Structure 1
Amino acid sequence: MGTADFTFGLEHRTAGSTLFLLLSGELDIWADEQLAPRAARLIPSARPAVVVDLHHVTFLDAGGVRLLLGIRQRVRGRHGTVRLVRAHGQPLRVLRITGLENGFDLWDGEPDDQAGHGPAVPA
């Protein structure tokens, strides 16, 4: 038996009451299966503010869209907010083509981290 080579990743950090999820690599069905439960465990139970950084995402398909929608649904179910930041290239095109560009609070710039710049840790 060989070992799996993950083509995606999830790191997280918090700043004040904001959870930052830093996604990377190819977000496909396998990424959704592996990362959705991890992301769900990280989302606080009361009115979370979540920033999802897509700067290092190189590919997004239906599985990756499902991952993002699942995060949004979990956060909204807790009356929180979700912001996607730094989407570019193919992932941004997918968000535009699917109409999800308007379904998320989408920002171009750096994540706003007024409480400091702590290191990201693997989820």
Structure 2
Amino acid sequence: MGTADFTFGLEHRTAGATLFLLLSGELDIWADEELAPRAARLIGSVRPEVVIDLHHVTFLDAGGLRLLLGIRQRVARRQGTVRLIRANGQPHRVLRLAGLAGEFDVIRGEPDDGVGQGPAVPAGGPAA
């Protein structure tokens, strides 16, 4: 039915009470379908503060926006916060054009505190 050649990825790491989600590649409807359940499991079991790193996101469309909004909604239900870091280029333009840049705490550029640096932990393989 599908292909193993994913054009997107999700890794995670934690630092204190913060869950860092590192998204990569093309965030479209396929990415939303595959990554939303993984993100939900991570958020459901851990932290009220989530930082989403968009540095390696090369493409963002309505499906990717749905993924980000779904994460924000899930975190908000747990009275948590979501920040987007390194939201530059095309992803930042899409957030801005969709009128969603104000819905997130968006930090452009490089993170300045080094929190969450270190080896990434895969968030799981493709859904069966």
Shared fold per TM-score greater than 0.5: yes
Amino acid at match of 1:32: D
Q: Report what 1:4 is aligned to.
A: 4
Q: Which runs of 4+ in 1 moved over 6 A?
A: none
2:89 aligned with 1:89: yes
- After TM superposition, list the pairs within 5 Å mapping 1:1-123 onto structure 2: 3-44=3-44, 48-111=48-111, 112-114=113-115, 117-123=117-123
Amino acid at match of 2:102: N
Query: RMSD of aligned C-alpha atoms?
Result: 1.8
Find the aligned partners of 2:122 and 2:25 in 1 and give their Cα distance. 14
Unaligned runs of 5+ in 1: none
The answer to whether the 8 A contact 1:47-1:79 is kept is: no
In structure 2, do the counterparts of structure 1 residues 69 and 62 end up closer, same or farther at CA, with 3 Å as the change threshold? same
Find the aligned partners of 1:81 and 1:73 in 2 and give their Cα distance. 10
**What's the offset of the Cα at 1:88?**
1.2
Amino acid at match of 1:121: V
Find the aligned partners of 1:47 and 1:121 in 2 and give their Cα distance. 16
State the number of aligned residues.
Answer: 122
Using the size of structure 2 for normalisation, the TM-score is 0.88
**What's the offset of the Cα at 1:76?**
0.4
The answer to whether the 8 A contact 2:17-2:47 is kept is: no
SS at match of 2:103: coil
Find the aligned partners of 1:61 and 1:84 in 2 and give their Cα distance. 16
**Offset from partner CA, 1:77-119 (integer Å, 9 cap, x none):** 00000000001111111000011111100001434444x6331
SS at match of 2:79: coil
The answer to whether the 8 A contact 1:48-1:78 is kept is: yes
Amino acid at match of 1:40: A
In structure 2, do the counterparts of structure 1 residues 102 and 11 end up closer, same or farther at CA, with 3 Å as the change threshold? same
